[in-house]
Structure 1
Amino acid sequence: MALMPGLQLNIGQQLKLTPQLQQSIKILQYSAMEVQQTIDTMLETNFMLEVDEEEIGSDENDARKEDEKDSGGDEELTKEEQPLDIEHDNQIDDNIELDMQWDEVFSDHTSSSAGSDSAESTAAENYTSAETTLHDHLQWQLDVAPFDERQTVLASYIIDDINDEGFLGSGSDLDSLLATINDNETDDEHPLYSLEELEATLKQVQQFEPNGVAARNLQESLLLQLAGFPQTPYVVTAQKLIEENFDWLTFHDHKRIKKVYGLNDEELNTLLRLIQSLNPRPGRDFSPTQSEVVIPDLRLKRLKNGWVVELNQDAFPRLSVNSTYLKLASELDDSDQNKRIKDQVNEAKGLIKSIQNRGETLLRVGTFIVDRQQSFFEEGEQAMKPLVLREVAEHLDLHESTISRATNQKYIQTPRGTFELKYFFSTGVSQYGSADQSATAIKAHIKQLIDEEDPKKPLSDSKLMKILEEEKDISVARRTIAKYREAMNIPSSSERKRLNKYKF
């Protein structure tokens, strides 16, 4: 069969995302901190973008607006919650157009809340000093220890191998650590290090603070800590128990412990309290104490006429296009310069629009969530209602993926605390003949019942099921209660009874 050249006509459809649409999707997905980082980066590269630092309104106007808001009425709220004014004094020529229509990004838009709070300076007491890490603490002790050159090299590798919990990352496999040291540190002038040298140095590092550090496992760490105690009969017994029969502690085999070591109930309690006083993770004492900074995107306030959701304007600077540069651009005859300015204007305007649309979408989603979960803000977790992404998407006429982006790593500051928007979503547990119950609410009821139980007679899962059905009118299977209890890291009733017996 001869090969002949020919033409074919294929008809197909392709979906292409323009750069502005891609940016808008990314901005919606970003957390508040990531949006701030994006703005800072753009301010460094785009000379047409600027931060509007003009203070909007005086204190008297702010007080008047607050009074108007408290007095109720949609008209007053609408006046305060005007959308961000991105077009104000610096109008952009009609010949500068974006490559898309902004109503293509989301299905529709609503007005966003815009506050006029000015930026607040950071007080000196809010600054924190650098924290000392576990490795810094160990390295400081190494610097003052009377080690020779070879011991210092070995100790440095040992310290580098210690994880944040205080244990050796290589565990009991010192051979691999030794091989790494010999590969990096030995040559013709420096002979190979031996395993005996490494083990001897390890024992010296294990004498560093905190007690129990540089252990190869939990058992060794507890023994190292007990070695620093005065050698009383209870300490000696604890050392023997951990060294000889550590599994008995793991499985709470108290009868065998009493029988083998000749202890009565009182002596056993004293022994267990001594062991419980030890630190199972000695490195945790040097864990960072500074909490992660969370910037809320939304704020919830309670006014006389109900709950009001508004954007947190303190989270983002007010952006605008530099009107001075626009005026200068109109006087330029250089086509290359005009093209560059046009690109910069499009880029700046695109970012401003993306941030505005992000705020509008978050405001819509947050308002719906607050309306749906209003009982939570008034009564607590036990009043949480079931809510899924699909329900929000259908009500707001948006795609589920948009709702997912708008709730992931987005936070709302409320009188009950700051929550991620995803926190308010939970599946519903079907109730026979009544409204579904939220899984979050059921977990809250279970936790409350366990917190209030008699420590000597903990409630079993079956008993919890009966109490929920009789007192809370919540019908849920026993296996579901067990699943929720385990998800909250709450032991079983028999385990709680055993643990309560040896609490201080």
Structure 2
Amino acid sequence: MALMPGLQLNMGQQLKLTPQLQQSIKILQYSALEVQQTIETTLETNFMLEIDEERDDESENYKDQLDSDASTNEESLSLDEKPLDIEQSKEIDSDLQLDMEWNEVFSDHAAPSTSLKDSSDYVSAETYTSAETTLHDHLQWQLDIAPLDERVTVLASYIIDDVNDEGYLESSLADLLITINENESDDEHPAYQLSDLEDALAIVHQFEPNGVAARDLQESLLLQLAGMPQTPYVVTAKQLIKENFDWLSYHDHKRIKKFYGLNDEELTTLLRLIQTLNPRPGRDFSPVQSEVIIPDLRLKRAKSGWLVELNQDAFPRLSVNSTYIQLASELDDTNQSQRIKDQLNEAKGLIKSIQSRGETLLRVGSFIVDRQQNFFEEGEQAMKPLVLREVAEHLDLHESTISRATNQKYIQTPRGTFELKYFFSTGVSQYGSADQSATAIKAHIKRLIDEEDPKKPLSDSKLMKLLEEEKDIAVARRTIAKYREAMNIPSSSERKKLNKYKI
């Protein structure tokens, strides 16, 4: 069959997202901190966008801002009391001369100070914070002041570099030795032996914090015990961890008492000593960065009930810079006018996207608060089942939109600051009664366990009966066990053992 060129006509429908819609979707899924970063980046590149500092943040919303921006531009930017049509740049008077070059518009006009470059460059001493000392820095400082020869220092440096934030070695000594010899050994420097690396590791083991650079938990605990005064209990603890560490892991207290000849009081003292050891010796030097959470919504109690409002302090108010639009009226350069038009469209698009984000969050937040009113009055135990589909159907939005509007979006309430997706919970079917939220059931389980007798912990079966008797919540025992494990709560037998030897 011969191949012949031809034309075909196909008809179909295709959905394409406009750039404005794509930007709105991105802004919606951004957290408040990411929106701040986007605004700062755009302010640096778009000369049409500026922060509106004259308006009262508490009294105006985003919609009023856009409307007032448009009216302000129409009133103040027109030369003949008419709105400026930037696309009609050819009609601008070309005889009007400018006393500056276009590139000079972006220069800083602040007069230099005699003592400082710029007043904005000055940083108050109160804004400085001390640098954090990491575990690596702490170990390296101890190595620098230790009287060691060069070869041992090299080995110790590699060991320190291999220590993770928990304080343990990440690589085996054999693998570490291969890396060291590949980088350090040559004709002038003989290859290192495994015994050399072990000697260097023994030196690092003497550094603070105790138990650092261990290869496993057992070695770390033994190193910490070695640094303590050698009392009979310390010696027994070392023997127990070294010889029968599994007994300690499985809480086999009867065997420990029988093997080491201990009574109940001596066993309690021994276990309390072991509990004072740090299973993660490097955690104290781990960098602790407090996560910045900026609430998008605020919940307040009003006379008519709960009031949800946008957090006006989440990010600055934006407006269009009127100076450059007026400057465009004095230009006869079509390219420059087009550039201003593009920048203007970008600025208005960002403002509109932020406005749309706020409106969506307000709608979603208002519905969640209305649905979960009992939670704000009584707490987790009053949480109701809620899924994305229910919110989407009520607000006539897609589930993906609800997902974007609740992920990394926070609401500040009298009970604390919560992520919006925290209020979503699956429902557990009940026999003859309303479904219960999984979050509420977990709260009931935790309350019952907190109130139990430490000497007689409640079993999963007993918890199931108490929930049915007190709260009319009928769930299976395996569901109780699943929720208990999800909250990292041990079983009743494990709790009994732990409560017996608590300090």
Shift of 1:229: 1.1
Q: Which moved more, 1:299-308 or 1:201-210?
A: 299-308
Equivalent residue for 2:224? 225
Q: Find the residue that maps to 1:327 and give its secondary structure.
A: helix
Query: Relative to 1, partners in 2 of residues 1:233 and 1:435: Cα closer, same or farther, differing over 3 Å?
Result: same
Q: Which moved more, 1:20-29 or 1:146-155?
A: 146-155
User: CA offsets per residue over residues 114-159 of structure 1, 9 Å max, x none?
Assistant: xxxxxxxx99878643221111111111111112111111111111
1:84-483 to 2 correspondences below 5 Å: 84-87=64-67, 88=69, 89-91=72-74, 128-170=129-171, 173-483=172-482
Opposite residue 320 of structure 1, the aligned amino acid is S
Equivalent residue for 2:25? 25
Shift of 1:274: 0.9
Partners of 2:358 and 2:262 lie apart in 1 by: 67
Shift of 1:350: 0.6
Query: Relative to 1, partners in 2 of residues 1:483 and 1:282: Cα closer, same or farther, differing over 3 Å?
Result: same
Opposite residue 471 of structure 1, the aligned amino acid is E
Partners of 1:350 and 1:131 lie apart in 2 by: 41
Query: Relative to 1, partners in 2 of residues 1:428 and 1:95: Cα closer, same or farther, differing over 3 Å?
Result: farther
Contact 1:385–1:441 (CA under 8 A) maintained in structure 2: yes
Shift of 1:84: 4.4
User: CA offsets per residue over residues 222-276 of structure 1, 9 Å max, x none?
Assistant: 0000001111111111111111111110111111111111111111111111111
Query: Relative to 1, partners in 2 of residues 1:492 and 1:84: Cα closer, same or farther, differing over 3 Å?
Result: farther
TM-score where L is the length of structure 2: 0.88
Partners of 1:186 and 1:43 lie apart in 2 by: 53
Equivalent residue for 2:90? none
Opposite residue 56 of structure 1, the aligned amino acid is D
Partners of 2:449 and 2:167 lie apart in 1 by: 33
User: CA offsets per residue over residues 147-196 of structure 1, 9 Å max, x none?
Assistant: 211111111111111111110011xx211111111112222222212111
Partners of 2:180 and 2:294 lie apart in 1 by: 45
Opposite residue 190 of structure 1, the aligned amino acid is H
Shift of 1:82: 6.8
Shift of 1:55: 4.8
Equivalent residue for 1:56? 56
Q: Find the residue that maps to 1:189 and give its secondary structure.
A: coil
Query: Relative to 1, partners in 2 of residues 1:169 and 1:484: Cα closer, same or farther, differing over 3 Å?
Result: same
Contact 1:84–1:356 (CA under 8 A) maintained in structure 2: no
Contact 1:48–1:322 (CA under 8 A) maintained in structure 2: yes
Partners of 1:330 and 1:210 lie apart in 2 by: 69
Contact 2:169–2:214 (CA under 8 A) maintained in structure 1: yes
Query: Relative to 1, partners in 2 of residues 1:123 and 1:465: Cα closer, same or farther, differing over 3 Å?
Result: farther
Matched, 1:2 2:15: no
Query: Relative to 1, partners in 2 of residues 1:94 and 1:480: Cα closer, same or farther, differing over 3 Å?
Result: farther
User: Rg: which structure is higher?
Assistant: 2
Partners of 1:80 and 1:330 lie apart in 2 by: 30
Among all aligned residue pairs of Structure 1 and Structure 2, give the percentage whose two residues are the same amino acid. Answer: 83
Shift of 1:94: 6.2
Q: Find the residue that maps to 2:319 and give its secondary structure.
A: strand
Opposite residue 161 of structure 1, the aligned amino acid is D
Shift of 1:12: 2.4
Contact 1:168–1:214 (CA under 8 A) maintained in structure 2: yes
Shift of 1:292: 0.7
Shift of 1:332: 1.3
Shift of 1:56: 2.2
Gaps of 5+ in 1: 63-78, 97-121
Q: Find the residue that maps to 1:435 and give its secondary structure.
A: coil
Query: Relative to 1, partners in 2 of residues 1:308 and 1:125: Cα closer, same or farther, differing over 3 Å?
Result: farther
Partners of 1:81 and 1:321 lie apart in 2 by: 16
TM-score where L is the length of structure 1: 0.88
Shift of 1:86: 2.0
Opposite residue 430 of structure 2, the aligned amino acid is Q
